[in-house]
Amino acid sequence: MLQTTTDNVSFATGFKFTHNIQQETKPFVLPEAKQIDVHLTSAPYQRTSKGMTAASLGNQAFKKAYNLKYAYVCGAMSSGITSKELVIKMGKAGLMGYFGTNGVQLPDIEQTICVIQKALKQGQAYGMNLLCDFTNPQLEEDTIDLFLKYGVKNIEAAGFLQITPALVRYRLKGLKRETNGKITATNKIMVRVSRPEVAQAFLSPAPEEIVNMLLEKQQISREAAILAKEMPMADDLCVQADSGGPTSQGIMPVLLPTMIKLRDDMMAKYRYANTVRVGAMGGIGTPEAASAAFILNADFIMTHSINQCTVEAGTSDTVKDLLQQVNVQDTGYAPAGDAFGFGAKMQVVQKGLLFAARANKLYELYHHYNSLDDIDDKTKRQIEEDYFKRPFEEVYAQIKAEYAQNNPQEIEKAEHYPKYKMALIFRRYFTHTMRLALDGNIKQKVDYQIHCGPAMGAFNQWVKGTALENWRNRHVDEIAEKLMQETAALLNQRFHELTM
């Protein structure tokens, strides 16, 4: 009863206090707000006669450097998914795509370069991807040899955590000072970054110790070694937010301003003649997403997942049929196969497929056990029968045969360390499932490994009810055109509404 009385007194006191405030305080009247309709539809945005155009978006120096119609590029996807057909289609449209070299044999890369160069005219842009290979640095060197042999002027570096000799060699080849005093670089590097320390390395000149080593080996000229101090390693940074395939799950509004500030600081420190440009990728599949990137001051945008579901993409029709049905919630995360054991993640299609669940299972087993022999028989049998469709020893025999010539040290390591042998075998599941998807193997469809981010789902919703709903009507150059045109229209419309 005492508690009830106390509560009643407290309530009465509080009520009286509130009543006095209401009686003595004059209301504050807000000015009438402008009504802005922010409802978005899939219909094309109304274009205004004045204002921004698709061609005016982004950094004009970027367009000039690569001779592009728009500040827009198609990023590489591994195993030739960004195919030679895709790269050629983009080049002929005055745009640029990077061929996905990861997982492609060197002779096939060489043939691809020849086909692309023959198909494109002088001035039409193209590029080749270079993925860092932790386990086989020689492959990186051999790939750079090919690029230099055929005069490939543009590369997209991905997966790098530090500067490597191969990258420095490519960057410094042909570096010279013109008669007007300006330094020109024959070879351009665009690098994907999601971490500031990696961006800082590429915003810096080539490491002196690597430059000296290359000079001693006579792999670069003395002039190039001297000029290296005045040139950053990269012409362009592409800030990679959460995207399909390998991802650090970054957030674009957080990453991009941070990287731009870092770029500005490094420009002030080294006083380079040309500004390093900073672009955006990850989650870009609609005019709204592209608009956000440009508003955040991106110099260019790079699309990724959405290009995999086009006529030109180098993957199976079965995969494209699946991608056409993806919505924004239909992707998930799995361990990255090329960095298995390091904790790296990649984003893949999850709806209707078992790859993500099975890949995560292998990762858990790897961290829980020190060898295949430690795993219980029931689990081993399940993995052999359901995942690989054959015994572990058959998988390992194939690995040994493939590595015998090109990478024998990997087998030596596996023979001495059972856990490493387990990692090699488990990683083979990732290679296997990628091939299943590329080939369109219907019998093992549930194991498809399809790199994809939510941008694919957003794109599907954007084009729903139009001719582009069917992937057979989707062409990379037309998607680029539509996306850039409607991005400009959207920005004009929003600016007009906000300033009415």
How is the beta sheet containing 345-349 ordered, strand by strand? 245-247, 345-349, 331-335
The H or E element containing residue 87 is helix 84-92
Q: Is 24 exposed, middle or buried (0-12, 13-18, 19+ CB in 10 A)?
A: exposed
What distance in Å separates the CA atoms of residue 484 and residue 491, rounded to the nearest whole number? Answer: 11
Around Cβ 115, how many Cβ atoms within 10 Å? 15
Return the amino acid letter for 204: S
For residue 49, the model assigns a pLDDT of 52
Q: Among positive and negative, which fits the CA dihedral 403, 404, 408, 414?
A: positive
Element housing 73 (H / E): strand 72-74
Q: Which 3 state secondary structure label does DSSP give 188?
A: strand
Cross-strand pairs, 277: 236
d(CA 315, CA 483): 23
> Which helix (H) or strand (E) covers residue 65, if one does?
helix 60-66
Give the span between the Cα atoms of 138 and 123, in whole angstroms.
31
Both structure tokens of 383: 């993995």
Determine which of 16-20, 71-75, 198-202, 368-372 has the lowest per-residue pLDDT on average. Answer: 16-20
Q: Which two tokens stand for residue 287?
A: 């005019």
CA dist 346 and 335 (Å) reads 6
**DSSP codes, 203-249:** HSBPPHHHHHHHHHTTSS-HHHHHHGGGSBS-SEEEEE-S-SEEE--
Is there a contact between 305 and 285 (Cβ–Cβ < 8 Å)? yes
Give dist(CA 178, CA 74) in Å, integer: 32
Tell me, what amino acid is at 349? V
pLDDT of residue 18: 45
Side chain identity, residue 449: Q
Q: Which residues pair with 188 in a beta bridge?
A: 154
Q: What is the pLDDT of residues 418-439, one digit of tens each?
A: 999 999 999 999 999 999 999 9
CA distance 457 to 388: 30
Average pLDDT, the chain: 90
Average pLDDT over residues 452-480: 98
Instruction: State the pairing for strand pair 245-247/345-349.
Output: antiparallel
Amino acid at 77: M
Per cent of the chain over pLDDT 90 is 81
Region 117-128 average pLDDT: 97
Among residues 321, 354, 308, the alpha carbon closest in space to that of 453 is found at 308
Q: pLDDT tens for residues 139-165?
A: 999 999 999 999 999 999 999 999 999
The whole-angstrom distance between residue 461's C-alpha and the CA centroid of its chain comes to 21
Domains along the chain with CATH numbers: 54-315+462-496 (3.20.20.70), 323-449 (no CATH)
Contacts of 399 (CB under 8 A, 6+ apart): 411, 424, 425, 428
Name the least confident of 221-230, 336-345, 418-427, 489-498: 336-345
Tokens 């070299």 — which residue? 101
Q: List 247's β-bridge partners, or say none.
A: 345
The per-residue pLDDT for range 308-332, each reduced to its tens digit, is 999 999 999 999 999 999 999 999 9
- Is residue 253 within 8 Å of 239, Cβ to Cβ? no
Number of helical (H) and strand (E) elements in the chain, helices listed first: 19, 13
Give CA–CA dist 378/359, Å, rounded: 18
As a whole number of angstroms, the distance between CA 338 and CA 371 comes to 20
Per residue in 24-49, pLDDT (tens digit) is 545 444 444 333 333 333 344 444 45
Q: In whole angstroms, give the CA distance from residue 222 to residue 228.
A: 10
**Contact by Cβ (8 Å): 239, 193:** yes
Give the residue carrying structure tokens 């219980």.
376
Cα 50-54-57 angle, rounded to 5 deg:
95
Asked whether the beta carbons of 455 and 470 are under 8 A apart, the reply is: no
Contact 158, 126 (CB under 8 A): no
| pTM beyond 0.75, yes or no | yes
Q: Length of the chain, please?
A: 500
CA 35, distance to chain mean position in Å, is 38
